[in-house]
């Protein structure tokens, strides 16, 4: 009998998933543990593996579709079972790319669905794709977009499997329908033309991009943090000349081994060692108690790239555990590996959990950011915002010189950390960064 593949719960807070990419198509044979799709959860994009052997009979949702956890997304035919029979057994709606409990509705004229009194625009009819029973083949996401835009789906020729209408068909038809409607409205009335709206600047495009699961979670968590956590900020300026010189020397010695330490690697270790001297910072608010952690797990904020269509982007926090017990080379290796996975295949939930303090570094020279404040990442009690180490005038021993200065700002949860404790911690952090040999032992 056919095997139904449903949207799995890939994180403890996941309620729905977006099918980013299928790696299989109907008729493909798969084995247990094969990577058949990429799914975007509320935290990251993750691999979806199949647990059974068989042949893909049908794909129930298109790429870009979002469905709740537990919803049917694909059907697998067992060995020896007909692909056609498996697809039919899963229901005609599944074979047409529809959810089982959402049978395709009869298409209505665009004017009626929008509630308009003007007659619908006359357009040349296009062949209505069907599944042989007179019903239009259209994915749930495409139907939703068509309803929102008032597009008559019976006039659209689908470009998906078996002529199914998918998202790109609706987006393409939308621009044409809008143009036709505009032309009809201009020809009808004999009234003065309204003022022309300002034209968008060259290279800009007015559009609306639906929030991804990750963006929704980021928005929710940041609002909760900013409105429920009593934030305060404390900043210090750090003389970075000694650290930059030490880094240059070490990287020169390690060049033949393909190792290159970043300034962030030194800062990450310094943050952990400073917590050993100031354990109150390495803590979490727990409602009616404060939890002081026995190890320093540094969460590193990683920005994800924004795609050409405006989607993507976002921010996730990858965790490097027991940083107080790791050397610079190991820290560097782990951070690079986590960043690469985050921007390509995505990170599993365990790689983004259990941080006890967070670093947000915008100190890349190309940005030129000198100072900023970050929002606390609950349940952490502190987050360290790091600016760029830039050349500027400094006074040393009464003399005016040119040096590299970096601003560091601690945002703290005032329920856990007092201002004096934050100042003491930053004083320790500055001492370690200005005397970087201590970071090597």
Q: Which domains does the chain have, with CATH numbers?
A: 3-95 (2.40.50.100), 110-184 (4.10.320.10), 231-440 (3.30.559.10)
Confidence of residue 197 (pLDDT cuts 50, 70, 90): low
Pairing type for strands 29-30 and 54-59 reads antiparallel
pLDDT at residue 278 greater than cutoff 80 = yes
**Residues assigned a catalytic role:** 414
**Cα distance between residue 150 and residue 109, in whole Å:** 8
Sign of torsion, CA 422 425 427 430?
negative
Q: Lowest mean pLDDT: which of 94-103, 139-148, 318-327?
A: 94-103
What does the DSSP assignment read for 73-99?
A: EEEEEPTTS-HHHHHHHT-HHHHTT--
Higher pLDDT, 146 or 322: 322
pLDDT at residue 133 greater than cutoff 60 = no
Higher pLDDT, 163 or 376: 376
Q: What is the pLDDT of residue 285?
A: 94
Write down the mean pLDDT value for the chain: 82
Pairing type for strands 283-285 and 290-292 reads antiparallel
**Cα distance between residue 278 and residue 205, in whole Å:** 50
Q: Lowest mean pLDDT: which of 107-116, 321-330, 358-367, 422-431?
A: 107-116
Q: Are 329 and 247 in contact (CB under 8 A)?
A: no
Pairing type for strands 382-386 and 399-413 reads antiparallel
Confidence of residue 235 (pLDDT cuts 50, 70, 90): very high
Q: Are 319 and 352 in contact (CB under 8 A)?
A: yes
pLDDT at residue 61 greater than cutoff 70 = yes
């Amino acid at each position: 009998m056919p095997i139904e593949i449903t949207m799995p719960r890939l994180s403890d807070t996941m309620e729905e998933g977006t099918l980013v990419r299928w790696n299989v198509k109907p008729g493909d044979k798969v084995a247990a543990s094969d990577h058949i799709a990429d799914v975007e959860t509320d935290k990251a994009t993750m691999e979806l593996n199949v647990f059974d052997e068989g042949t893909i009979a049908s794909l129930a949702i298109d790429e870009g579709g979002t469905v709740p956890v537990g919803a049917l997304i694909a059907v697998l035919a067992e060995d020896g079972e007909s692909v056609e029979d498996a697809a039919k057994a899963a229901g005609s709606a599944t074979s047409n790319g529809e959810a089982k409990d959402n049978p395709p509705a009869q298409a209505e004229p665009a004017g009626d669905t929008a509630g308009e009194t003007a007659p619908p625009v006359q357009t040349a009819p296009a062949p209505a794709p069907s599944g042989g029973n007179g019903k239009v083949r259209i994915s749930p996401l495409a139907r939703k977009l068509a309803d929102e835009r008032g597009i008559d789906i019976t006039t659209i020729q689908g470009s998906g499997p078996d002529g199914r209408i998918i998202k790109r068909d609706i987006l393409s038809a939308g621009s044409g329908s809008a143009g036709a409607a505009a032309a009809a409205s201009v020809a009808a009335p004999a009234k003065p033309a309204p003022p022309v709206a300002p034209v968008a600047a060259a290279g800009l495009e007015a559009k609306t991009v639906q929030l991804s699961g990750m963006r929704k979670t980021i928005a929710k968590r940041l609002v909760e943090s900013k409105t429920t956590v009593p934030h305060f900020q404390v900043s210090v300026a750090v003389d970075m000349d000694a650290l930059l010189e030490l880094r240059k020397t070490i990287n020169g010695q390690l060049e033949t081994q393909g190792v290159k330490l970043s300034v962030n690697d030194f800062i990450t270790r310094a943050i952990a060692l400073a917590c050993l001297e100031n354990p109150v910072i390495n803590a979490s608010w727990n409602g009616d108690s404060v939890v002081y952690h026995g190890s320093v797990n540094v969460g590193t904020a990683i920005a994800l790239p924004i795609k050409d269509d405006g989607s993507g982007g976002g921010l996730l926090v990858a965790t490097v555990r027991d940083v107080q017990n790791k050397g610079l080379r190991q820290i560097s290796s782990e951070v690079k590996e986590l960043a690469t996975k985050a921007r390509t295949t995505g990170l599993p939930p365990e790689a983004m959990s259990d941080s006890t303090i967070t670093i947000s570094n915008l100190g890349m020279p190309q940005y030129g950011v000198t100072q900023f404040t970050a929002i606390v990442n609950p349940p952490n009690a502190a987050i360290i915002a790091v600016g760029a180490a830039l050349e500027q005038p400094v006074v040393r021993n009464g003399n005016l010189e040119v040096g590299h200065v970096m601003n560091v700002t601690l945002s703290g949860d005032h329920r856990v950390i007092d201002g004096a404790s934050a100042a003491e911690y930053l004083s320790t952090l500055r001492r370690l960064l200005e005397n970087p040999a201590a970071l090597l032992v």
